[in-house]
Amino acid sequence: MADTHSTVAEHAEHSPHLRHHFDDMAQQFDSATLGMWVFLLTEIMFFGGMFGAYTVYRAMYPGAFASTSQFMNPFYGALNTAVLIVSSLTMALAVRAARLGEQKALQLFLVFTMIFGTAFLVIKGFEYHEHWVDMKVPIIGGHWDYSEFPQFARQAQIMFCFYFFMTGFHALHMVVGLGLMTTIFIMARRGTFSSSYFTPVEVSGLYWHFVDIVWIFLFPLLYLIGRTKKLI
């Protein structure tokens, strides 16, 4: 191990992807994974704050929150959950293919992941459209009509606000994820990855799975509340 200066011969020995401040590829990989997890922790806190605020308001206005479930489409929600879980599977298989150095399989699974990710956003778009048609978008100026449950007309706006912010930020993360996948796909096409270097695939996969986890919580909390309630 060279302590200060590496020679030309040493350069030839190690992978061109090994940065000089790491001992070897394994250490570099572990560091990158750890770094990605640190980033994901900040993301956990970001979404955690929204989940916390949601819980406070739901505890304050349970009736109003339950009433909004009449205007959510749990079928779309469940379908999107399934779509996202499939995309996580194809992502995991892409990382596996990268590790094994199977370039064709890697590219194929990345394409599948992008297709399912896009399908998720399209379905989400249909849902947003339904809310718009239903007049359930409490923006300033008001695209809002809650005459079905006039007693909750104000408080239900809070829930829809949470709905649009939480699913909106989640969708934004999906868009970023699709950008990452496109980048990784181009890198894969150029032959950047091998069984000894696949770190970008791995850390992008961690991000993709994290976004999946956020949705796993959003689905029951936004779509499945108050489905059994006979509303007052």
Partner 1 sequence: MHSIPSVRTYVTIWVILTVMTFVTYYVAQVELGAWNIVVALLIAFFKMMLVILFFMNVKADSPLTKLFAGAGFFWLILLLGQFFVDYLTRSWMPEGKMW
Contacting residues toward partner 1, per CB under 8 A: 25-26, 29-30, 33-34, 37-38, 40-41, 44-45, 48-49, 51-52, 55-56, 59-63, 74, 78, 81-82, 85-86, 88-89, 91-93, 95-96, 99-100, 151, 155, 205-206, 209-210, 212-213, 216-217, 219-221, 224-225, 227-228
Q: How far is the CB of 216 from partner 1 (least distance, A)?
A: 5
Instruction: In whole angstroms, give the CA distance from residue 197 to residue 36.
Output: 16
E strand or H helix that includes residue 144? strand 143-144
| Closest to partner 1 by CB, 143 or 148 | 148
| Closest to partner 1 by CB, 108 or 143 | 108
Beta bridge mates, 144? 136
Instruction: In whole angstroms, give the CA distance from residue 150 to residue 169.
Output: 29
| Closest to partner 1 by CB, 74 or 135 | 74
Q: Phi/psi class of residue 228: alpha, beta or left (left: φ > 0; alpha: ψ in -120 to 50)? A: alpha
Q: How far is the CB of 44 from partner 1 (least distance, A)?
A: 5
| Closest to partner 1 by CB, 17 or 209 | 209
Residue 141 burial (10 A CB sphere; 0-12, 13-18, 19+):
exposed
Residue 110 burial (10 A CB sphere; 0-12, 13-18, 19+):
buried
Instruction: Give me 181's structure tokens.
Output: 């996948």
| Closest to partner 1 by CB, 44 or 187 | 44
Q: How far is the CB of 9 from partner 1 (least distance, A)?
A: 25
Q: How far is the CB of 191 from partner 1 (least distance, A)?
A: 20
Q: How far is the CB of 6 from partner 1 (least distance, A)?
A: 22
3-state secondary structure of 136: strand
